[in-house]
Structure 1
Amino acid sequence: MNMIPGMRITTEGELEVIELEGGSILDSMYQAINCELVQMIGLDCGVDAIFDEEGKYNGAQLNCRATQTVRGLGFQFFPGDSLSGSVIFLGHTAKGETVGLTEKQRKLITVAAG
């Protein structure tokens, strides 16, 4: 079984290390953030922030720590915009393939999360 290491910031603001099943990565994403439709923000550091696309509309809790983290990694939100629900972070290759986070990427996320 191919496991992909990543990180998650829960709605309670807890930063944790997770592993997703690589064989069914999309299903693993749905389970990790408890949603039916994911959205992805590709960041310049080779990291993707993955979240519930419908989170703001279905009543998911505002995730201030995840919003701060994504900003800290260089993403610029529209004024007043933010992330809701749990957010997971995984790596991506130059070809757009989802991969596990490197140690350097985990450190970047941890620093950005404060």
Structure 2
Amino acid sequence: MTTSIRSVHINPTETITTRNLNPDSIAAAIGCSMFDVVGLTDSIDLFVDDEGLINGSPLNLPATVLAHLLGSRTVIFGTAIAVSVNDGGETIGLTDHQLARIQTGLAQKPDHLTIQKLVESLSPFPTIVSMLRNI
């Protein structure tokens, strides 16, 4: 029996949505053949396109900001899927607390320290750095 899990689908150019997702279809939901997992605080994982930078996917600023807010200084290209992970490393659905943490992180202006980290990580993108310095 296939179970669906609660996830957050973060598209770089469209809306951010909460979806029930089959864990076996994460790569298809991202739109890639190879994915990577970015571990964040609070047992949240971001599944991302492993080849997003080299295949021309757009910068995913919302997912990049979220990653920086939750402990990973990574830059994300293409679609990202946020899910939870249990102690055994199994992908599971987001809890209410995790979902609220993601929604809050995506909805609020990043704090000064997070902006500084983003400026460093996004230094190859001067237009975005300029924008970050002005918020």
TM-score, normalized by the shorter chain, greater than 0.5: yes
Q: Which runs of 4+ in 1 moved over 4 A?
A: none
Which runs of 5 or more structure 2 residues have no equivalent in the other structure?
A: 108-135
Tell me which amino acid in the other structure corresponds to 1:39.
D
1:44 is matched with: 41
Tell me which amino acid in the other structure corresponds to 1:50.
F
1:57 is matched with: 54
1:75 is matched with: 72
1:95 aligns with 2:88: yes
Tell me which amino acid in the other structure corresponds to 2:87.
A
What is the CA distance between 1:21 and its match in structure 2? Answer: 1.4
**Aligned equivalents of 2:33, 2:65: Cα separation in 1:** 24
Q: Deviations over 1:40-80 (max 9, x none)?
A: 01112111011000000000011111100111112123xxx
Which runs of 5 or more structure 1 residues have no equivalent in the other structure?
A: none
More strand per residue: 1
More helix per residue: 2
Q: Deviations over 1:83-104 (max 9, x none)?
A: 0001000000011110000000
**Aligned equivalents of 2:72, 2:104: Cα separation in 1:** 15
Q: What CA RMSD, in Å, does the superposition of the two structures yield over aligned residues? A: 1.2
Q: Bigger radius of gyration, 1 or 2?
A: 2
**Aligned equivalents of 1:75, 1:36: Cα separation in 2:** 23
Tell me which amino acid in the other structure corresponds to 1:6.
S
Q: How many residues align?
A: 106
Tell me which amino acid in the other structure corresponds to 2:7.
G
Q: Equivalent of 2:99, from 90, 100, 106?
A: 106
